[in-house]
């Protein structure tokens, strides 16, 4: 069943909203900056969204105060997304629209902050007693409340594939008649737990990340959010883009290392192609997970070589935004949707000396192309992989 993609938006270090992101991609201007996160002394680069700290939540949402929810609120206000949600509510009702949000960190930054403010009694100060914030479901709770939706709400956390898997859950909800449309999205914000955690895994680079470059040596953590409206055909009469297929897998090969042959990733791609009724030759562009770690890029290139011919364009966009973890899936899905809509495929920024050992060569310059179908790849810890296929609604 082909599903319509309506209004969508993304906010990241590459830009707040679609226009700023497109301009950064066109100008090949990274959003990465030297680490300036408060109380974090790691020598690295980060993808920080400017001005998140000053975002004011509406009065009815103040009890959900956190950096993560501030970022979500900033993102929800871009590209007329909430206006489109309001129009949809009038047509099909608030209870026929679901919410599925992906995250990895949720509002853990607020919890970190809370523990630094413990009272002598070891109790939390009143302002930090937020049971709906100190929970993994915080983004789902917040987005549903901010959008005024009363349909089913869920938060998915499968590490870096979290907000790719939201599309699959939305498709299942719609297919089974639970709802007629779903507001999907993802949000992850910078916090010390994540930066120091990934540093303990020796995955953080002191340089700007260089996906698929011979000298790549690790990731830069970023923060981002993105949202899209997914609906069954006929619900969004003005929609021109579609979720043509999706595939998921959980190979459980290793907690933090992908399967050496990319077994789970191949399964996810094959399932997406089967659901879409397409062959690999139909895919014009693949937005890669492309984290810039030596293992990820090498294995992902092996996955592509098993399924695609070199005519298929492929690139990583993480050198613009940093690795947005639980928000990476939605952010890169939006980039893939924009490629289908506008025909501009971003090259792999910072890839100056392509690694000769990778088995599928990525593009390094932006390319104008007729993109009928685009894949967005997402890999997560524990082998939680997802592949999404986006296309034009008319095929």
Structure confidence by residue, pLDDT tens digits, 66-113: 999 999 999 999 999 999 999 999 999 999 999 999 999 999 999 999
177 neighbors 228 (Cβ within 8 angstroms):
no
Chain-centre distance of CA 210, in angstroms? 19
Question: Any bridge partners for residue 158, and if so which?
Answer: 160
* Secondary structure (3-state) at 125: coil
Residue-wise pLDDT tens digits, 267-285:
999 999 999 999 999 999 9
Q: What pLDDT score was predicted for residue 328?
A: 98
The two three-digit tokens of residue 342, written as one number: 């506008």
Q: How far apart are CA 187 and CA 143, in angstroms?
A: 10
Residue-wise pLDDT tens digits, 292-322:
999 999 999 999 999 999 899 999 999 999 9
- The b-or-e profile of 270-288 (16+ CB within 10 A means b, else e) is bbbbebbebebeebbbbbb
* CATH T-level fold of 3-392: Peroxisomal Thiolase; Chain A, domain 1 (3.40.47)
Reported as a pLDDT band with limits 50, 70 and 90, residue 383 is confident
The two three-digit tokens of residue 32, written as one number: 């990465």
| Cα-Cα end-to-end distance for the chain | 12
Q: What pLDDT score was predicted for residue 75?
A: 98
Q: What pLDDT score was predicted for residue 252?
A: 81
What is the share, in percent, of the chain residues with pLDDT greater than 90? 92
pLDDT surpasses 80 at 253: no
The two three-digit tokens of residue 173, written as one number: 């909800």
Chain-centre distance of CA 30, in angstroms? 17
pLDDT surpasses 80 at 246: yes
Who wins on pLDDT, 316 or 395?
A: 316
Torsion of CA 220, 332, 160, 382, to 10 degrees: -120
Residue-wise pLDDT tens digits, 362-371:
999 999 999 9
Q: How far apart are CA 146 and CA 159, in angstroms?
A: 24
Mean pLDDT of 380-394: 90
Q: Which of 227, 187, 224 is nearest to 83 (CA)?
A: 227
Residue-wise pLDDT tens digits, 171-202:
999 999 999 999 999 999 999 999 999 999 99
Reported as a pLDDT band with limits 50, 70 and 90, residue 290 is very high
Q: Which of 65, 81, 62, 64 is nearest to 11 (CA)?
A: 81
Residue-wise pLDDT tens digits, 131-172:
999 999 999 999 999 999 999 999 999 999 999 999 999 999
Q: How far apart are CA 110 and CA 266, in angstroms?
A: 37
Q: What pLDDT score was predicted for residue 60?
A: 97
CA R_g for the chain: 20
Q: Which of 106, 332, 363 is nearest to 226 (CA)?
A: 332
Reported as a pLDDT band with limits 50, 70 and 90, residue 262 is confident
Residue holding tokens 């983004």?
Answer: 139
Question: Any bridge partners for residue 161, and if so which?
Answer: none
Which sequence positions are flagged as catalytic? 160, 289, 323
Per the document, the length of the chain is: 395
Q: How far apart are CA 299 and CA 290, in angstroms?
A: 10
Residue holding tokens 């899209």?
Answer: 228
43 neighbors 206 (Cβ within 8 angstroms):
yes
Which residues have CB under 8 Å from 320's CB, separation 6+? Answer: 12, 13, 14, 24, 25, 29, 30, 31, 32, 346, 349
pLDDT surpasses 60 at 395: no
373 neighbors 389 (Cβ within 8 angstroms):
yes
Weakest mean pLDDT among 141-145, 164-168, 210-214, 248-252: 248-252
């Amino acid at each position: 069943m082909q599903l319509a993609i309506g209004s969508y938006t993304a906010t990241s270090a590459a830009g707040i909203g679609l226009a700023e992101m497109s301009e950064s991609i066109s100008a090949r201007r990274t959003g990465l900056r030297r680490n300036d996160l408060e109380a974090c002394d790691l020598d690295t680069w980060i993808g920080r969204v400017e001005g998140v700290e000053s975002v004011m939540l509406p009065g009815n949402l103040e009890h959900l105060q956190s950096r993560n929810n501030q970022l979500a609120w900033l993102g929800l206000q871009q590209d007329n997304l909430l206006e489109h949600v309001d129009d949809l509510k009038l047509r099909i009702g608030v209870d026929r629209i679901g919410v599925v949000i992906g995250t990895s960190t949720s509002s853990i930054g607020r919890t970190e902050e809370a523990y630094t403010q413990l009272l002598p009694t070891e109790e939390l100060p009143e302002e930090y007693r937020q049971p709906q914030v100190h929970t993994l479901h915080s983004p789902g709770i917040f987005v549903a409340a901010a959008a005024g939706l009363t349909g089913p709400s869920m938060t998915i956390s499968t590490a870096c594939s979290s907000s790719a898997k939201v599309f699959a859950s939305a498709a299942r909800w719609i297919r089974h008649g639970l709802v007629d449309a779903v507001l999907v999205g993802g949000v992850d914000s910078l916090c010390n737990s994540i930066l120091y955690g990934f540093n303990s895994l020796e995955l953080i680079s002191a340089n700007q990340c260089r996906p698929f470059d011979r000298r790549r040596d690790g990731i830069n953590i970023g923060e981002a959010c993105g949202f899209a409206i997914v609906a069954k055909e006929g619900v969004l009469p003005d929609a021109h883009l579609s979720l043509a297929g999706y595939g998921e897998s959980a190979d459980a090969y290793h907690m933090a290392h992908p399967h050496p042959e990319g077994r789970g990733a191949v399964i996810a791609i094959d399932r997406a192609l089967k659901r879409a009724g397409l062959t690999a030759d139909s895919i014009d562009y693949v937005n890669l997970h492309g984290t810039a770690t030596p293992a990820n890029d090498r294995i992902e290139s092996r996955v592509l070589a098993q399924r695609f011919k070199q005519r298929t364009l492929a690139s990583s966009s993480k050198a613009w935004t940093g690795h947005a973890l639980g928000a990476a899936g939605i952010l890169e899905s939006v980039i893939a949707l924009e490629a289908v809509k506008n025909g501009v495929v971003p090259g792999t920024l910072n890839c100056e000396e392509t690694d000769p050992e990778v088995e599928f060569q990525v593009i390094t310059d932006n390319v104008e192309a007729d993109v009928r179908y685009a894949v967005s790849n997402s890999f997560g810890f524990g082998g939680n992989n997802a592949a999404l296929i986006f296309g034009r609604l008319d095929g």
